[in-house]
Amino acid sequence: MIELCRDVESSSANPFDVDIREKLLILKQRLPELKLLDELLVDAEAMLELSQIVKLQDEWLKTRASSLYIDPLLIQLKVKLLPKDALSEAFIKSWHPVAQLDQLSPRGLEKAFVYWRDLVPISERFKDQFGTYGTRPGQVDYSELVSLGVFTREQFETNLTNLYDELMQKSNSEWVDYREFIADDAYENKVRRAYLLAFLISEGRALLRTEPLTGKIWTMALAERVKGAPKSVAISITGEN
Amino acid sequence: MEAESGDRALLERKVRRAFQVLVLQRGRNPGVKGWEMKRHLGRDFRKIIEVLSEDVAPMGLEVFEVKGADETDDSSRFLLRFREPPSVSEAETSGIRIDDLAVLAATIAYVNSKQGRVARREVEQFLREKFPKWRIDYSLDRYVKRGYLEQDDRSMLHIGWRTHAEVDEKTLMTLILSRAQEAAKK
């Protein structure tokens, strides 16, 4: 019964297709058998849906009784026959546009000013829900790392030379996988190797090649330092291997 | 004599106030609800509106009432609107697209023929014989937003309050039927 009512409500079917008297009799007969709360709730829902159908029947009768009712098939046919400009002309000839002024009043201007004045900056607005924002990605140069105590100048040179030797040995004039080369169990070491390798590449002691389609990155040590137009490549270093 | 001129001045002041209230848009939708009119003009606001409607007639305007759902004074919406429809060239120069109006005209006619409510997908299917899909989607959404059509939570389309306010639906239906006959004869 509920499904039937809902089908009628969500389509342009004739609401008089639902026999309200018959449905009410059924509900009346079943009511004494209903004991559980769930059953009573479904019964109430059925009553609600039936009342919606009665409302639709009322509207249906009002429209049908008005002079606006015309057989839908006839309308479909007529609209099909009419060119677009004739349809719009019919509309214009029955149209009485609303006349009004759309303007900003002094009170509206004041409200806008107060809103803007009290508006919290966007960086502060969602702090309560999402907490503070993390630091944006930035750049750290060699001197900064030295000042932070991550490297001493001697250590850095030694580490750079060691990494160069390692790459030279592994690549042996062939391309090696960049990610495999910098891989390390400890994330910090991985970042350290990537940083040192970036330094070697910038100095022209190693090359870097990217394959945008596959996402592969290759590197190779050079026996002699080369000079060329420098290019920047952004590579993300994650904790995954 | 003095009392009479005092009444006249009060009436004029109230008529002027009524015009200002009606012509300035409040909120998103045009028009003023009956309860607001009562607040601005007092209990006899209908008399004031009648006078105003006569006063604006020489300018080609009228005050029009759209009855609310419960048909009470408070729920009625009052609008200032064109007394006569604009000419086709006037409507065209106001930047309204002929295609958009044709979609609205066909939709109003179809919804009315279906006892005032029809599933949106059914309207879309009906309009697709004449208009491209993108135009139908765009126009229907726009007219729902502007109050010419209403869409309920079951995606059923109804005639919106703005159509009741601005469109003489009986004339529209008659024109569609008669024009179609002329087109068929040609």
Q: Residues of A with CB below 8 A from B119's CB? A: 10-12
Q: Give the torsion sign (CA, A125, A131, A134, A135).
A: positive
Separation of alpha carbons A167 and B174, rounded Å: 87
Q: Say yes or no: B19 and B79 in one domain.
A: yes
Identity of the amino acid at A136: R
Where does a domain end: B35, B56, B84? Answer: B84
* The pLDDT of residue A130: 61
Burial class of residue A107, CB neighbours in 10 A (0-12, 13-18, 19+)? exposed
Q: Say yes or no: B181 and B95 in one domain.
A: yes
Q: Say yes or no: B80 and B98 in one domain.
A: no
Task: Please report, for the domain that includes residue B101, its CATH number.
Answer: 1.10.10.10
Q: Say yes or no: B125 and B44 in one domain.
A: no
CB contact under 8 A, B116 and A63: yes
Q: Say yes or no: B172 and B96 in one domain.
A: yes
What is chain A's mean pLDDT, rounded? Answer: 82
- β-strands B77-82, B117-119: how paired? unpaired
Whole-number Cα distances in Å, A150 to A156, A163, A189, A229 = 9, 17, 12, 30
Question: pLDDT tens digits for B138-158?
Answer: 999 999 998 899 999 888 999
In this structure, chain B runs to a length of: 186
Question: pLDDT tens digits for B62-92?
Answer: 999 988 877 788 889 999 999 999 888 888 7
Separation of alpha carbons A126 and A133, rounded Å: 10
Residue B186: partners with Cβ closer than 8 Å, 6 or more residues away: none
Q: Is the pLDDT of residue A114 over 60?
A: yes
Give chain B as a 3 state SS string.
Answer: CHHHHHHHHHHHHHHHHHHHHHHECCCCCCCEEHHHHHHHHCCCHHHHHHHHHHHCHHHCEEEEEECCCCCCCCCCEEEEEECCCCCHHHHHHCCCCHHHHHHHHHHHHHHHHCCCEEEHHHHHHHHCCCCCHHHHHHHHHHHHHCCCEEECCCCEEEECHHHHHHECHHHHHHHHHHHHHHHHHC
Q: Say yes or no: B104 and B61 in one domain.
A: no
Our count of domains for chain B comes to 2
* The pLDDT of residue A178: 92
Q: Is the pLDDT of residue A132 over 60?
A: no
Q: Say yes or no: B26 and B42 in one domain.
A: yes
Q: Yes or no: say if B106 and B77 are a contact pair by the CB < 8 Å rule.
A: no
State mean pLDDT over A46-64.
86
Identity of the amino acid at A234: A
* The pLDDT of residue A215: 80
Query: Can you give the pTM of this predicted structure?
Result: 0.58
Residue A95's DSSP bridge partners are B167
Q: Residues of B with CB below 8 A from A102's CB? A: 25
Q: Residues of A with CB below 8 A from B77's CB? A: none
Separation of alpha carbons B180 and A202, rounded Å: 78
Q: Say yes or no: B69 and B95 in one domain.
A: no
Where does a domain end: B84, B115, B138? Answer: B84
Whole-number Cα distances in Å, A133 to A17, A124, B60, B121 = 61, 10, 60, 45
Question: pLDDT tens digits for B41-66?
Answer: 888 899 999 999 999 999 899 999 98
Task: Please report, for the domain that includes residue B53, its CATH number.
Answer: 3.90.1150
Q: Yes or no: say if B72 and B34 are a contact pair by the CB < 8 Å rule.
A: yes
ipTM confidence score: 0.85
Closest CA to A84 of B142, B136, B166, B131: B131
A217: helix, strand or coil: strand
How much of chain B exceeds pLDDT 90, in percent?
A: 41
Range of the domain at B120: 89-185
A211: helix, strand or coil: strand
Nearest CB partner across the interface for A92, out of B22, B86, B179: B86
Half-sphere exposure at residue A136, Cβ-oriented, CA atoms within 13 angstroms? 1
Q: Residues of B with CB below 8 A from A96's CB? A: 62, 64, 81-85, 166-168
CB contact under 8 A, B81 and A74: no
| Residue B107 Cα, gap to closest chain A Cα (Å) | 10
* The pLDDT of residue A128: 66
Q: Tokens standing for B54? A: 């006569």
Question: pLDDT tens digits for B94-127?
Answer: 777 888 899 999 999 999 888 888 999 999 999 9
* The pLDDT of residue A36: 85
Where does a domain end: B24, B55, B84? Answer: B84
Nearest CB partner across the interface for B183, out of A76, A83, A98: A83
